[in-house]
Chains A and B, each alone.
Chain A
Amino acid sequence: MIAIFQNYGGLLLQGFGQTLLCSIIALFFSLIIGSMFAIFETTPVKFLRVIARIYIEVFRNIPLLVITMFFFVVIPMFVAKISGFAAGTIGLTIYTSAFIAETVRAGIQSVDPGQMEGARANGLSFWQAMRYIVLPQAFRYVIPPLGNQFINLVKNSSVLAFVAGFDLMYQGNVIASDSLSTMSTYVCIGLLYLVITLPLSYWMRYLEKKLA
Chain B
Amino acid sequence: MGAKNKKASADAVYAKKTVKSANPFDNTAAQSSKRGQNPFDVHVNKEKFKILGRICKHDRGMPGVSRAKALQKRAQTLGQQFAVKNKTNRFKDNRIGKHLSGDQLTESVMNARYLAEKMSQVRQSQKAETFNLNDDELLTHRGQTLEEIEQYRDERSDDEELDDEGLDADFTSAAHFGGDGDTVQDRQTAIEEMIAEQKRRKNEIVKEKDEVYELTEKLDANYKLLLPLVAKATKDEQDAKPPPDAYDRLLKEMIFEPRGSVTDKLINPDELAKQEAARLEKLEAERLRRMRADGEEEEEASINQPKHRSADDLDDGYGYLAGGDDEGDDTLAYDLDGNLGTHLNGKKNIAAEQENDEENGEEESDGEEEEDSDDGSDSDVDNLSDLKESDSESEAEVESTLQSSKKKPQREKPSVSMDTSIPFTIKMPKTYEDFTALLSKHAVPQQATIVERIIKCNHPKLEGVNRENVVKLYSFLLQYLKDLFEDASDQDIRGHFQLLSQLMPHLYDLTQLNPERMSNTLLEVIKEKYGEFRKNHKTYPSLDTLVYFKLVANLYSTSDFRHPVVTPCFIFMQHILSRARVRTRQEISMGLFLVSVVLEFVSQSKRLLPAVFNFLQGILHMSIPKRDVQQLEITAPFERDGPLSKLLTLPANSKECKDLESQPLQSVDLVTQTITPDFKVRALDATLLLIKEALQLVEEHVGACYLAKPFLRLLVRLPLDSYPEHVQLHHKEATQLAEKLAKQKMKRLAPAERKPKALRLLEPRFEAVYDDKRRPKMSKAKEERAKLLHKIKREKKGAIREIRRDTAFVQELKLKQTLQSDKERHEKVKRIYQEASVQQGELNELARSKKKKKF
Do A and B pair up? The answer is no
* Interface positions of A (Cβ within 8 A of B): none
